[in-house]
Amino acid sequence: MNNLTTRSKTLAIQMFHSSLEGTVYGMLIMAEVIMRRELKASILLITMFTMLGSVTNLLSIYFSHILTKYPGKIKTIITVAAMFTRLPMALFFFFNTAEALFVLSALYYLGDTFIKPVQNIYMKMNYARTELGKIYAYSISLNKVFFIAAVYSFGLWMDSNSSIYIAVFSICGLVSFLSFFMLGYVPVSEWMKEKVSERKVDLLIFPTLIAVFKKNRRFLVYEAAFFIYGGGFMVVLAAVPILLVDHLNLSYSIISFGRGVVSAVVIILTIPVFGKLFDKKDPVHVGVLAFSILIAHPVLMITAYFLPVEFAKWSVYLSYVSFGAGMAAVTLCWNIGPMFFAKNNMEIPEMTSTHVTLTGIRGLIWPVLGYFLMKLHIILPFIFSIGFFAAAAFIMRTIIEKSDQEI
């Protein structure tokens, strides 16, 4: 298969995958709100639920090892992973409790730990370096178009029929299985031909992380900044739905419009700009800008808390403008940034899995901190979030200002 055909097929599958993932995520993003309002889930269960996407990433380092050890079996690995992680969500039709949704979602998020390394492999191998940011930006924009249609429609449906989520979440299991399964058809023949490393991989998490960071000090600082950024993002994950449901009592359509439509439209409008900056500069410059923009998100959520109910929603909408712009930049840095620190193609899974695994580690820490802060006052997680975002921007900037020797 020539390079042009490989690129075209990769692009077609990537865009198809992005559209389906956007649709599914548009539905599932309302899960915490539904758990609180319809399924009467406790604050503790909601906090644990918000940890799933991060904590399951702890297994990424093992899945990356599987991909590196068996590069010729990527299609089989993807098929099996899709069956056991995404398809079970369809069972929610029969087991529709808060606890069942928690367990099925844990399996669902486990699938993401396979998807990220696979995506970085085929993007690095099948696209030119100078077009990575642009193509990924287009992929995310398409994802968000489908996401917007899904999330806003779902919010309106929930206001008119609050039990429809049972069928919707079940269908999401089938659609996400198809989306995941299609990744197995991406051409990765060049990577398969590379000699697989014979060195033994230490599957204990911390020794592996230390080994990676010893080889690349800049990557260490990059990950330190992302770890602190994770504090700003994760410390409010459970606090946001509690604030919107318990304190502001906003409708499903208002919540879906803010969390979904507003943030996604801003991402669509800004991610091409950040994509070009990403290609022109690097993930470090884009990261500093992203973390700085995100500071406004918790500030405006705090503002909404103190405003009269009729005005609070506007502050929430503005907070998601900031969130959308910041996350547009973060999405690029988080998903394809680590590959820029890899010295060869065989290091891509290692760098990616290290990055994703650290997301899992911080997912064990920051949401728990957010839970205890909420027990004191609902505003405290948002105050801490401001500090974390500011600190992350400062740390990321040191990569720009200092040489390798100074780091």
pLDDT confidence of residue 207: 64
What average pLDDT is seen over the chain? 85
Asked whether residue 407 is assigned to any structural domain, the reply reads no
Q: What share of the chain is helix, strand, coil (3-state, %, to 5)?
A: 85, 0, 15
Assigned domain for 372 exists:
yes
For residue range 225-255, list pLDDT tens digits in order.
Answer: 999 999 999 999 999 999 999 999 999 999 9
Highest mean pLDDT among 6-10, 141-145, 392-396: 392-396
pLDDT of residue 199: 45
77-102 pLDDT per residue, tens: 888 888 999 999 999 999 999 999 99
Mean pLDDT within 366-385: 96
Give residue 206's pLDDT band: very low, low, confident or very high (50, 70, 90). Answer: low
Q: Give the CATH number, domain containing residue 288.
A: 1.20.1250.20
pLDDT at 355: 78
The three-class DSSP label of residue 199 is coil
User: Tens of pLDDT along 29-50?
Assistant: 999 999 999 999 999 999 999 9
Degrees (nearest 5) of the Cα angle 210, 114, 154?
Answer: 125
Q: Residue 331 pLDDT > 90, yes or no?
A: no
Closest CA to 393 of 290, 320, 324: 290
pLDDT of 250 reads 94
Q: SS3 for 305-358, per residue?
A: HHCCHHHHHHHHHHHHHHHHHHHHHHHHHHHHCHHHHCCCHHHHHHHHHHHHHH
Whether residue 221 contacts residue 395, with contact meaning beta carbons closer than 8 Å, is answered with yes
pLDDT at res. 192:
53
DSSP 8-state class, residue 129: G
**380 in a structural domain:** yes
Specify the 3-state DSSP secondary structure of 197: coil
Structure tokens belonging to residue 56: 């399951």
In a domain, 406, yes or no: no
For residue 56, give every residue at least 6 positions away whose Cβ sits within 8 Å of its Cβ, in sequence order, or none: 106, 109, 110, 112, 113, 360
The pLDDT confidence band at residue 373, using thresholds 50, 70 and 90, is: very high
Residue type at 377? H
Of the chain, the percentage scoring pLDDT greater than 90 comes to 51
Q: Tokens 């995520």 label which residue?
A: 25
For residue 208, what pLDDT is reported?
65
Q: Give the domain range for residue 83.
A: 3-194+201-401
Q: What is the pLDDT of residue 24?
A: 95
pLDDT at 86: 93
Tell whether 331 is covered by a domain.
yes
Tell me the HSE value of 244 on the side-chain side, using a 13 A CA sphere. 32
Burial class (CB in 10 A: 0-12, 13-18, 19+), 326: buried
> Is 115 inside a domain boundary?
yes
The pLDDT tens digits for 342-370 are 776 666 667 777 777 788 888 899 999 99
Whether the Cβ atoms of residue 90 and residue 390 lie closer than 8 Å to each other: no
With 90 as the cut, is the pLDDT of residue 120 above it? Answer: no
Nearest partner of 243 among 46, 26, 100, judged by Cα: 46
- For the chain, how many structural domains are there in total? 1
Q: Where are the alpha helices (DSSP H) in 70-183?
A: 74-85, 98-126, 132-160, 165-182
Work out the pLDDT band at 214, boundaries 50, 70, 90.
confident
274 domain residue, yes or no: yes
The residue to which tokens 């990765």 are assigned: 188
From 37-51, 198-212, 273-287, the region with the lowest mean pLDDT:
198-212
Task: Estimate to the nearest angstrom the gap between the alpha carbon of 28 and the chain centroid.
Answer: 13
Predicted confidence (pLDDT) per residue in 45-62, tens digit = 999 999 998 888 777 667
